[in-house]
Amino acid sequence: MTRYDGVDLRLNVAHSARMYDYYLGGFTNFAADREAAGHVLATAPWVRTAARANRSFMHRSTRALARAGIDQFIDIGTGIPTSPNLHEVAQGIRPRARVVYADNDPIVLTHALALLTSTPEGRTAYVEADVTDPVALLAAPGLCETIDLTRPVALSLNALLHFVPDAQGAHELVDHLKSVLAPGSALVMSHLTADFDPEEIGRVVGIYQAAGTAVQARSHGEFARFFDGWDLLAPGIVPTVDWRPRADEPPVPASAAAGYAGVALRP
Ligand SMILES: C[S@@+](CC[C@H](N)C(=O)[O-])C[C@H]1O[C@@H](n2cnc3c(N)ncnc32)[C@H](O)[C@@H]1O
């Protein structure tokens, strides 16, 4: 058993954060993660491209919101640090930006120092928290001391909610998080869908489930519900790769379109 600060890191069990790190070519993954991720890649080799495209959506949406004036960010389901991290993108435009990261995987905590490299005028914090308990997450001292909830915040839940099935209250927890954010705040989300290739996504979901991680792909309509009551920014809810693609980035093949993304503002 590998422990960190008294916490069992459960390195013998595949974990979504470390599998994602493996798809991205990172080094914070272990035999069980590589075995499960290898099964996924054997079924769906485009997953590596989709993971990179998902990171690229985070860069583009963060830049767009920072340029629009937002200088506070909460990123839940942060993942293992991968340069550039969200604060580096946001502070590249707004050096005073404040960023709070949250994840429930202890291995992300062990790498949190890479997320705490704020500009001197800005601030970053890391909170170990579970999105399924939004009340505790919002009450965490690291969040309360860093973010002023009376001012607009960009809340990102990227590639996270497909790990929270309906039975765990995915829509209710997002509604709760939305309810505490000030007008002008933004909700940024990307999410796995089976709309484009139900059979292949069914196999991928099965591999995660066999490795002990519940996954629920959602349809366009189910994903759109997360944004109810808020104003979607153009181009609306689209395949992740089609959310304001940059001309200087290589085009992503349509075969890697297995996720939706959207950004909405609280009126
Ligand atoms: C696929 S990674 C996405 C990382 C990053 N958001 C991105 O889009 O590049 C999913 C992350 O969500 C985290 N996660 C999964 N379930 C969670 C939960 N219930 N609460 C908080 N974090 C969770 C995992 O530990 C992992 O770091």
Q: Report how far residue 81's alpha carbon sits from residue 135's, in angstroms, rounded to the nearest whole number.
A: 25
Mean pLDDT of 175-202: 97
Please determine, for residue 1, whether its predicted confidence score (pLDDT) is greater than 60. no
Distance of CA 193 to the CA centre of its chain: 15
Ligand 1 centre to CA of 116 (Å) is 18
Q: Can you read off the two tokens belonging to residue 137?
A: 């997450």
Residues with CB under 6 A from ligand 1: 16-17, 20, 54-55, 58, 76-79, 103-105, 108, 130-132, 158-160, 163-164
- For the CA of 57, the closest atom of ligand 1 is 8
Ligand 1 centre to CA of 157 (Å) is 8
- The pLDDT assigned to 114 comes to 82
- For the CA of 19, the closest atom of ligand 1 is 1
Q: Which residues pair with 189 in a beta bridge?
A: 157, 262
Q: Report how far residue 150's alpha carbon sits from residue 161's, in angstroms, rounded to the nearest whole number.
A: 25
pLDDT digits (tens, 9 = 90+) for 83-118: 899 999 999 999 999 999 999 998 898 888 888 899
Mean pLDDT of 1-23: 78
Please determine, for residue 7, whether its predicted confidence score (pLDDT) is greater than 70. no
Q: Can you read off the two tokens belonging to residue 26?
A: 């990172």
Task: Give me the chain's average pLDDT, please.
Answer: 94
- The pLDDT assigned to 9 comes to 65
Residue found by looking up tokens 């340069």 in the block: 83
Q: Could you tell which of 10, 160, 205 is best to mutate to test the pocket of ligand 1, judged by most ligand atoms within 8 Å of the CB?
A: 160
Q: Report how far residue 140's alpha carbon sits from residue 119's, in angstroms, rounded to the nearest whole number.
A: 22
Task: Map out the domains of the chain as residue ranges.
Answer: 3-265
pLDDT digits (tens, 9 = 90+) for 197-256: 999 999 999 999 999 999 999 999 999 999 999 999 999 999 999 999 998 887 777 767
More confident residue, 78 or 2: 78
Ligand 1 centre to CA of 250 (Å) is 26
Please determine, for residue 165, whether its predicted confidence score (pLDDT) is greater than 80. yes
Q: Can you read off the two tokens belonging to residue 41?
A: 């890649």
Q: Report how far residue 143's alpha carbon sits from residue 102's, in angstroms, rounded to the nearest whole number.
A: 9
More confident residue, 63 or 114: 63
Q: Can you read off the two tokens belonging to residue 7?
A: 């916490």
Asked if 96 and 118 count as a contact pair (C-beta separation under 8 A), the reply is: no
- H or E element, residue 224: helix 220-224
Please determine, for residue 11, whether its predicted confidence score (pLDDT) is greater than 80. no
Q: Report how far residue 114's alpha carbon sits from residue 136's, in angstroms, rounded to the nearest whole number.
A: 24
Please tell me whether the overall predicted TM-score, pTM, comes out greater than 0.75 for this model: yes
- The pLDDT assigned to 4 comes to 57
Among protein residues, the one with the nearest Cα to ligand 1's atom 11 is 77
Among protein residues, the one with the nearest Cα to ligand 1's atom 14 is 77
Report the topology of domain 3-265: Rossmann fold (3.40.50)
Mean pLDDT of 141-152: 98
